[in-house]
Amino acid sequence: MSTNRVMIAGSGGQGIILMGKLLAYVAMEEGKEVTFLPSYGAEMRGGTANCSVIISDRPISCPVVHKADIVVVMNQPSFEKFESAVEPGGSLFLNSTLIKDPVTRTDIEIYKVDANKLAEDAGIGRSANIVMLGAIVRQTGIVKIENVTKALKKEFSGKKVVYLDANLLAFQAWKTG
Amino acid sequence: MSTNRVMIAGSGGQGIILMGKLLAYVAMEEGKEVTFLPSYGAEMRGGTANCSVIISDRPISCPVVHKADIVVVMNQPSFEKFESAVEPGGSLFLNSTLIKDPVTRTDIEIYKVDANKLAEDAGIGRSANIVMLGAIVRQTGIVKIENVTKALKKEFSGKKVVYLDANLLAFQAWKTG
Amino acid sequence: MAERVLMKGNEAFAEAAIRGGCRFYVGYPITPQSEIPEFMSHELPKRGGTFIQAESELGTINMSYGIGCAGGNVFISSASPGIALMQEGFSFLCSAEVPLVAMNVSRSGAGIGGIQPGQCDYNQVTRGGGNGDYHIPVFAPSTMQDAVDIIYESFEIADRYRNPVMILADGMMGQMMEPVVLPEPKTLYKDEADIANYKPWALTGSKGKANRNRIKSYHAHPAELEQYIDYLYEKYMRMEKELQRAESYHTDDAEIVFVAYGSMARIVREVLEVLRKDGIKAGMIRPISLWPFPTAPFEALNPEVTKVVISAEMSKGQMIPDIRLALKDRIPVKLFSRTGGIIPSTEEIVAFVKTLRKELK
Amino acid sequence: MAERVLMKGNEAFAEAAIRGGCRFYVGYPITPQSEIPEFMSHELPKRGGTFIQAESELGTINMSYGIGCAGGNVFISSASPGIALMQEGFSFLCSAEVPLVAMNVSRSGAGIGGIQPGQCDYNQVTRGGGNGDYHIPVFAPSTMQDAVDIIYESFEIADRYRNPVMILADGMMGQMMEPVVLPEPKTLYKDEADIANYKPWALTGSKGKANRNRIKSYHAHPAELEQYIDYLYEKYMRMEKELQRAESYHTDDAEIVFVAYGSMARIVREVLEVLRKDGIKAGMIRPISLWPFPTAPFEALNPEVTKVVISAEMSKGQMIPDIRLALKDRIPVKLFSRTGGIIPSTEEIVAFVKTLRKELK
Amino acid sequence: MKAIYQSTVGEGLTLTDTSYCPGCGHGIIHKLVMESIAELGKLGETIGVSPIGCSVVAHEYMNVEMCEAAHGRAPAVATGIKRVHPNHIVFSYQGDGDLASIGMTEIVHAAMRGEKFTTFFVNNAIYGMTGGQMAPTTLLGQKSTTSIDGRKKEISGMPIRVSELLATIDGAVYVERVAVNTPANVRKAKQAIKRALDVQQRKLGFSFVEFLSSCPTNWGLTPVNALKWVGEHMIPYYPLGIFKQPEEEK
Amino acid sequence: MKAIYQSTVGEGLTLTDTSYCPGCGHGIIHKLVMESIAELGKLGETIGVSPIGCSVVAHEYMNVEMCEAAHGRAPAVATGIKRVHPNHIVFSYQGDGDLASIGMTEIVHAAMRGEKFTTFFVNNAIYGMTGGQMAPTTLLGQKSTTSIDGRKKEISGMPIRVSELLATIDGAVYVERVAVNTPANVRKAKQAIKRALDVQQRKLGFSFVEFLSSCPTNWGLTPVNALKWVGEHMIPYYPLGIFKQPEEEK
Amino acid sequence: MARFLVKFLRDRCKACELCISVCPKQILEIETDLYNKKGYHPARVQPGKDDECIGCTSCATICPDSVISVFDTTKE
Amino acid sequence: MARFLVKFLRDRCKACELCISVCPKQILEIETDLYNKKGYHPARVQPGKDDECIGCTSCATICPDSVISVFDTTKE
Ligand SMILES: Cc1ncc(C[n+]2csc(CCOP(=O)(O)OP(=O)(O)O)c2C)c(N)n1
Ligand SMILES: Cc1ncc(C[n+]2csc(CCOP(=O)(O)OP(=O)(O)O)c2C)c(N)n1
Ligand code: SF4
Ligand code: SF4
Ligand code: SF4
Ligand code: SF4
Ligand code: SF4
Ligand code: SF4
Ligand SMILES: [Mg+2]
Ligand SMILES: [Mg+2]
């Protein structure tokens, strides 16, 4: 598979942008071509936020993801909006802590990740995004786990180093799909 | 002669614009085509003012007078600037009260009008322009004398009626060239 | 026929606007059009209208947007750099579908430039100097009578399309006097209360209306905005078809065809006479609408007959792209240009043509 | 090769400017470029530069004119309606020969419109929305690397011609991240005292100079102004010759040639691949300079080979006149357009081409 | 059962949900303005102008006829409207970026001319819509995305006090600053609105109410803490009170 | 033989004749500004900005480096210049149309930011260059080409007092209004210029001098009567004095 | 029955908690098990605390979303 | 010889008469038989009145065209 199109959606405060950036950053470090495109404008008002990440072996034309191989939805409204964006045969990762509705599509792989719960268990409630990142990486192998770990160490350095351990835990929290 | 090009120049306060307007107005009343074009911008600062009047039997293309049949200069700087604008064979009317320099051109008709002096004699020192208007009209027949008189009556009506008689006198002050 | 009166261009423009239905005038002084606000300041109130001296050209365009939103028929005027300051506003009015009649009595040069006549605002007024896909019809009269007639009509054009309309004149036209026949005053709406009938979309208060009116420019949703742009574009296409205007002079047999508008067209008219007297078959196309640029007279030119087209401008060839597009590049286009406020003489254009003909041979 | 870093477009633009010699940044917030002033507000002072948050876009352009007069290398950025407000200023800077690098991260629609990406400022930036005869070179990068490289270079271009230079990007490019290699920082002048050496024309105080410098836009005398306009025009003609830039992709054998710039060109690049896989010979000309519009690649097209040219835009055909002029109307031009902030997908463009080919047959 | 406070939703305000963030001061001010106009029975004879800022689509919420204005130009637009409909209530509703930065000329001159409309000025010390950049009203030391270490006097000067500035202008007949940080202050704010509208209806001149408001999102505070911040930081720098009123009312 | 008053022509002023009308106040003010800078010995380290107005080509007359600014924007331009050359003397020279009308935003914000340059503001109660239209500073009852029966409060509001308005702004550190109607007042005006330049050189903030000046041409008065008119009509409405000065000097 | 009735347009509530913070009787709360149409947990009077309301209307006054009306059940 | 010397850059004078109007000794006048380079009748000290000058510099101070310099002949 030469190109991966990932769409991540949730609410403003859920760290959607960080997930996407980390993914893109790690892929770049692995020598891939990457683009990252966040939604903009609307977030300001606490609406939904989303971003698209494309990872490829070759130059990427357009950073917009109209249909995604991997869709990650972190809350109910995003689920409603983006369930249909999964390419047939693609994967849908959903934050089952917050999304209660049943998935209607049958032509895709579904991964329910109790992200908020697992994050709290890991000791850092706000890291549901990192839990989810762990799930995606582990499940799809889109980038290497150890490289994400490296990136997390970089992200949570300096003043933020106090959050590192919990995030590393969160990253490993989800075990299987 | 189907087209007359007149250029009138002097200083801001000399009533240059009024002379041109009266000429154009009377010609229009006589059924001619006319245009009137004042200089603009510079006058504001007490510089020289000038205007072009074209009177013709047929539609007038451009209101700008590059070369004139009749040039009227009311003060020294205008004389210096516009002496050369007279078409060979054309007429130059100069206000001899204020213009002392000798005319250098020999290919044109020259009319020296002691305009300020004559105006003062007529009882209204500021009407040098009307004296000069009388001179032009009388000398060139460019418009009819009685029509100018009519126009003067219209111009000096209402509040301005007190100046009428003196202006009519001024208009007739210059007798011969 | 009504009486001919001798008027200064700027005053005739203002008077034509009042007679054409202008009830509001907003302006800010700038040479060479200041006689328009001056005239309006004392005339308009006498005729039941309102004059506002704005604090700037931004004030001008935005007050007139407010007046337009409220259903008033509004006229504004300015000159070159003043028009540049209004570009955001023009774009805004187009996007909000608010009518307006605007006049640019243009001068010369970029920046402050000079205050003498120029035609170098061609791009500025025809190409939409503001953001977005929009168009403003631009009419370029060349005599006082033309100007009076088109200003008079423009209020209806603006209202019909709910779009600004621009009249492009220049300092020479604004400052000169020439006889003109003024049309009869017309009334577009009786009084304030009548606006809601004349312009049901205008903001007149929601009382008695089924739906309150709103006028907007912002669209948060791309799909909705795209639809709206498509809707507006359909309107611009209609305007493009319906508003093309031009006059052709002796083009049928013309070996040389001038293209000239506004003041320049006046001069070229005389140039044609001189050239024809000299046995040179010259003609002219005078675009009256600059946007939409009139294509028909150019399509009618025959390359077998017409060997060269001359764009005669008081600018540096700004009209040439439009001419080439209208001609589909079938005939070569040359430029005659004077700038800086200099109005060329008949003689120098004639001389230009004669030299050009020698070169072409 | 230097390290690739992952950066947000707006931040990469700002960083490239700093490395290219920007010592002053002036700006006013507007989506989708606000990250540029945000980045500059904390980065530039650290790097020895000065950040000024202006009170408006008028403040922005006029402060930067002041900086430019004083010899500082200045960068500004805004988005569509903000650029519209600067039109008087751009005209003024051109008339006064003051260099500046300006960036338009454009959005969609006229007026306020929407804040999603658009390309409908094509006319606004290429046609001189201000008054007068003047031109501003406009470069339209399509990748982050393009953008970084051209911004970096623009300071020298601006200084060389003593003229503003515009970079046209759009909201997608401003907001996205992609890896980029940043060029080495360069220094155009050492310090304040060095300005007088680097820019002898700049205002640095008359002390020690034979003649004091003055920078002006106003010319009272038409003859003098005309001469000055001719002088400037000669410069614009030089710019027109020297600054044309474009990239051609597979145009040699292409039956269909797209013309696309900026973000749209990225998408078309993929469209070409898909079409060629399907056996359709498609190519693309990507204008990098929008003014001057690059004519050479269009002249190179052979109507025997290329049957149709498609202008692919996020606007309503604004580029078509330039394409037709460059083509001299030798090949028909069609429009593919999405607007309102919608970025088209590869699939829909491919579908458009397939339908078009059927129609043409 | 008698309403002692009746939500104006469906009357002064439309049924449309606002796009404002939870706890945003704009919501409170919208409500006060529309309650006031509804109580005057003038919803059908009012025309409003919304600014560019978070409240650009105030016309979706305020149940009167309205238009949007280009950034900063609402006072010019309101001038135009009022001149066409001199007997209607006309108001502009503007943020601090809109009014105190790019639109300073327009507000000063509407005041100078003594235009007979009312401006509601929402001072939340920040550019809300564009994501929290420094406004002319941002307090010293206050962080914003263009002053990440807090506004500094040496770089950006001291925040501007618009009410005080406008009060120097004769045509500004009513000028008051209020805050919407506590129920008591909210009630006072409504009184100010009513007085301003009264001045307008009596055609005395230009009337102006400045609201100290909150932007929890860009301040990075909870709505409750944001209102506390208004009280603790904004009011001390921006004193509340009437700066101008018609002679007879003093 | 000692000069007790030496014409600054050839030093602070160039040898070029000015295009100002006879008796125009601009001439007096040009002279004062340039005498002051010359006396400071700073002609070589001064950069000025001329406005759009009759003084657009002030740079022809003032013997320092200068540029023109677009109408109203001189304070923004001066801001830019001063930021590049923080140790030079930088000034803008502006008329009342330029500064008080179209350029209100720029002057208020230069003051707010406390920009360290000086603005010389020539209030002649008229648009001079464009032919005598009403300015924001035109007095009630004063005739102009856009108020031929005299300015009326109901239509155009009361004239704006710029010094008072700017004095409400913290960053404006020195604000004084002077008049050039009598030799005594002209001398005071020069003192004001010197104080303002001193504030600038000490980098204390924004400094501003308003000059009540005459426009004989557009007022339709002789130069002598025009200066009388300044004293009889302008000074009563525009009181002279220092509105703002650094603490330590009070 | 309680004298004062505090009514919420629950689907307009954005859970900003301003009403809660200003209630002098501290009887308001967020209803954490319910999502309204907008996806927020709306505010309400704590079950059983209706009686304690003094009808001060502070909650309604501060509410940015005009969610709250307050009624006096003893009056017409 | 008079103590104070009032010197005019005559070709700069625009005959505005401001100097004349402010001179406390009223010793200045327009020289009506002379035109300067600009075409104005320049101002001057009335012939024979040099002595009356008190060196107050009022004329120089008010002159809009920087025409006038005043010298004290008794000082170096
Ligand atoms: C001409 C122009 N410049 C800039 C912008 C971007 N912009 C949109 S809203 C805004 C300011 C918003 O701040 P404020 O007026 O304080 O309103 P708030 O959102 O805080 O209520 C700006 C700068 C614009 N839309 N138009
Ligand atoms: C954008 C723009 N608008 C208008 C003008 C026209 N204009 C030139 S000078 C001027 C005002 C002059 O008045 P003021 O500033 O009072 O200066 P004064 O001539 O009285 O010294 C105006 C409106 C212009 N040049 N540019
Ligand atoms: S960003 Fe701030 S001002 Fe805008 S809606 Fe949100 S809280 Fe209110
Ligand atoms: S028009 Fe007035 S301000 Fe201008 S130069 Fe003449 S007198 Fe001075
Ligand atoms: S009315 Fe007063 S006491 Fe009752 S719930 Fe509301 S705030 Fe509490
Ligand atoms: S104040 Fe209003 S919006 Fe906020 S929680 Fe209470 S009811 Fe809900
Ligand atoms: S110095 Fe004084 S006394 Fe002497 S001429 Fe001048 S004004 Fe008169
Ligand atoms: S004041 Fe100056 S310009 Fe005026 S008359 Fe006296 S010397 Fe001449
Ligand atoms: Mg705000
Ligand atoms: Mg003035």
Instruction: Measure CB to CB from residue C53 to each of F56, F146, F149 and give the nearest one.
Output: F146
All partners of chain H with 3 or more CB pairs under 8 angstroms: B, F
Q: Are F19 and B44 in contact (CB < 8 Å)?
A: no
Q: What is the pLDDT of residue F248?
A: 77
Q: Domain coordinates of chain B in residue numbers?
A: 3-172
Cis before C32 (ω within 30): yes
Could you give the count of Cα atoms lying within 13 Å of C297 in the half-sphere of its Cβ?
Answer: 26
Residues 113-132 of F with CB under 8 A from B: 128-131
- With tokens 């600059």, the residue in question is C290
Q: Provide the residue type at D237 as one letter.
A: M
Q: What is residue D37's three-state secondary structure? A: helix
Residues from H in contact with F at Cβ < 8 Å: 4-5, 9, 11-12, 14-18, 20-22, 38, 40, 55-58, 60-73, 75-76
| A171 Cβ neighbours under 8 A, 6+ residues apart | A130, A131, A133, A134, A148, A149, A152
Query: What is the C-alpha separation between E178 and D242, in angstroms, rounded?
Result: 60
pLDDT band at B177 (very low <50, low <70, confident <90, very high): low
Residue A46 reports pLDDT greater than 70: no
Is pLDDT above 60 for A44?
A: no
Instruction: Look up the CATH number of domain C3-195.
Output: 3.40.50.970
Q: Which ligand is nearest to the CA of H6?
A: 7
The pLDDT tens digits for G48-70 are 999 999 999 999 999 999 999 99
Residue A13: per-residue pLDDT: 80
* Cα F96 to ligand 10 centre (Å): 5
Could you read off the pLDDT tens digit of each residue along chain E, which spans 250 residues?
Answer: 899 999 999 999 999 999 999 999 999 999 999 999 999 999 999 999 999 999 999 999 999 999 999 999 999 999 999 999 999 999 999 999 999 999 999 999 999 999 999 999 999 999 999 999 999 999 999 999 999 999 999 999 999 999 999 999 999 999 999 999 999 999 999 999 999 999 999 999 999 999 999 999 999 999 999 999 999 999 999 999 999 999 877 6
Q: How far apart are CA E35 and CA E28, in angstroms?
A: 11
Q: What is the pLDDT of residues C253-285, one digit of tens each?
A: 999 999 999 999 999 999 999 999 999 999 999
Q: Are A132 and A139 in contact (CB under 8 A)?
A: no
**What is the residue extent of each domain of chain D?**
3-195, 247-360
Fold classified for A3-172? Pyruvate-ferredoxin Oxidoreductase; domain 3 (3.40.920)
Chain Cα centroid distance, residue A117: 16
Categorize the per-residue pLDDT at B44 as very low, low, confident or very high, splitting at 50, 70 and 90.
low
Q: What is the pLDDT of residue B43?
A: 47
State the virtual CA torsion across C103, C109, C113, C114 in degrees, nearest 10.
Answer: -70
Beta bridge partners of E67: C215, E49
Kindly report the nearest CA distance between residue F108 and chain D, in angstroms: 10
- The answer to whether E5 contacts G60, with C-beta atoms less than 8 Å apart, is yes
pLDDT for residue H35 is more than 90: no
Best mutation target among F46, F52, F67 (most D Cβ atoms within 10 Å) is F67
Beta strands in chain F (DSSP E): 2-5, 46-50, 65-68, 89-95, 118-123, 172-179, 206-212, 241-244
The pLDDT score that the predictor gives to residue A42 is 60
Task: Give the chain H residue whose CA is nearest to the CA of B100.
Answer: H35
Cα–Cα distance between E171 and G44 in angstroms, integer? 47
Query: How do residues D256-312 score in pLDDT, each as one tens digit?
Result: 999 999 999 999 999 999 999 999 999 999 999 999 999 999 999 999 999 999 999
What span, in angstroms and rounded, lies between the C-alpha atoms of F18 and H66? Answer: 10
Three-state secondary structure string covering chain B: CCEEEEEEEEEHHHCHHHHHHHHHHHHHHCCCEEEEEECCCHHHHCCEEEEEEEEECCCCCCCCCCCEEEEEECCHHHHHHHHHHEEEEEEEEEECCCCCCCCCCCCCEEEEECHHHHHHHHCCHHHHHHHHHHHHHHHHCCCCHHHHHHHHHHHCCHHHHHHHHHHHHHHHHCCCC
- What contacts B111, CB < 8 A, 6 or more positions away? B91, B92, B93, B94, B135, B139, B177
Q: In what order do the strands lie in the sheet with G68-72?
A: E2-5, G68-72, G4-8
Q: Determine the Cα–Cα distance for residues E230 and E137; give it in Å rounded to an integer.
A: 13
Instruction: Note the pLDDT of residue H33.
Output: 85
Sheet holding C333-337, edge to edge: C246-249, C282-287, C256-259, C308-313, C333-337
Cα(C290)–Cα(C264) distance, rounded to whole angstroms? 14
Q: Which residues of chain C have pLDDT under 50?
A: none
Q: Could you tell me the pLDDT band of residue D1, with boundaries at 50, 70 and 90?
A: low
Closest CA–CA distance from residue D222 to any residue of chain A (Å): 49
Helix (H) and strand (E) counts for chain A? 6, 6
Q: How far apart are CA D119 and CA A36, in angstroms?
A: 21
For residue B45, the model assigns a pLDDT of 64
As a whole number of angstroms, the distance between CA F130 and CA F132 comes to 6
Nearest CA among C52, C49, C8 for reference residue C27: C52
Q: Of C8, C117, C102, whose CA–CA distance to C57 is shortest?
A: C102
**Inter-chain CB pairs, A–E, below 8 Å:** 17
Residue E238 Rama label (left phi>0; alpha psi -120 to 50; beta): beta
Q: Residue of the nearest CA to atom 2 in ligand 4? A: F215
φ, ψ (nearest 5 deg) of residue C182 = -90, 135
Each residue's pLDDT tens digit, F191-216: 999 999 999 999 999 999 999 999 99
Query: Do the two domains D3-195 and D247-360 of this chain adopt the same fold?
Result: yes
Bridge partners (DSSP) listed for residue F95: F122
Domains of chain F: 9-249 (3.40.50.970)
| Neighbouring C-alpha atoms within 13 Å toward the C-beta of C18 | 21
Tell me the three state secondary structure of residue A129: helix
Phi and psi, residue D169, nearest 5°: -120, -165
- Could you tell me what percent of chain A has a pLDDT over 70? 95
ipTM of this predicted complex? 0.97
Q: For residue A77, give the H/E element and its range.
A: helix A76-82
What is the rounded average pLDDT of the residues D206-211?
Answer: 94
Helix B128-140, helix B115-122: angle, nearest 10:
110
Q: Mean pLDDT, to the nearest integer, of H7-22?
A: 97
Task: Judge whether C321 and C123 are in contact, CB under 8 Å.
Answer: no
Using CB atoms, list chains with 3+ pairs below 8 Å to chain E.
A, C, D, F, G
Work out the mean pLDDT of chain F and round it to a whole number: 97
- Answering whether pTM is above 0.95, one says yes
Q: Extract the runs of DSSP E, i.e. beta strands, from C306-358.
A: 308-313, 333-337
Residues 18 to 37 of A: which have CB under 8 A from any D CB?
21, 24-25, 28, 33-37
Q: Going by DSSP bridges, is the β-strand pair B86-95/B109-113 parallel, antiparallel, or unpaired?
A: parallel
A43 band by pLDDT with thresholds 50, 70 and 90: very low
Output phi, psi for D258, to 5 deg.
Answer: -80, 150
pLDDT at B126: 86
| Predicted confidence band of residue B2 (pLDDT cuts 50, 70, 90) | confident
Label residues H26-60 b or e (16+ Cβ within 10 Å = b): ebbbbbeeeebebebbbbbbeeebeeebebbbbbb
Spell out where A20-61 has E strands.
Answer: 33-38, 48-56
Sorted by where each starts, the structural domains of chain H and their CATH numbers stand as 4-72 (3.30.70.20)
Q: Which helix (H) or strand (E) holds A152?
A: helix A145-155
Cα B52 off chain centre by: 10
CATH tag for C247-360 (out of 3.10.20.30, 3.40.50.920, 3.30.310.160, 3.40.50.620) = 3.40.50.920
d(CA F15, CA D178): 60
Q: How far apart are CA C6 and CA C179, in angstroms?
A: 4
pLDDT at F142 over 90: yes
Token pair for F244: 């703002």
DSSP H helices, chain E, are 25-39, 58-61, 74-84, 96, 104-113, 153-156, 162-167, 183-201, 216-219, 223-229, 235-237
Atom of ligand 5 nearest to the CA of G68: 6
Instruction: Give phi and psi for G34, each to the nearest 5.
Output: -120, 135
Region F112-135: mean pLDDT is: 98
The answer to whether residue B77 neighbours chain H at the CB level (below 8 Å) is: yes
Spell out which residues line ligand 4, taking CB within 6 angstroms.
B 44-45; F 20-21, 24, 26, 54, 124, 128-129, 215-218
- Contact between E8 and G29 under an 8 Å Cβ cutoff? The reply is no
pLDDT at B100: 85
Query: CA–CA separation, G20 vs D101, rounded Å?
Result: 52
Give the residue whose CA is nearest to atom 6 of ligand 8.
H19
Q: Is residue D270 helix, strand or coil? A: helix
Phi and psi torsions of F8, nearest 5° = -90, 5
HSE-CB of F26 using CA atoms within 13 angstroms: 30
Tell me the pLDDT tens digit for each residue of H41-69.
Answer: 999 999 999 999 999 999 999 999 999 99
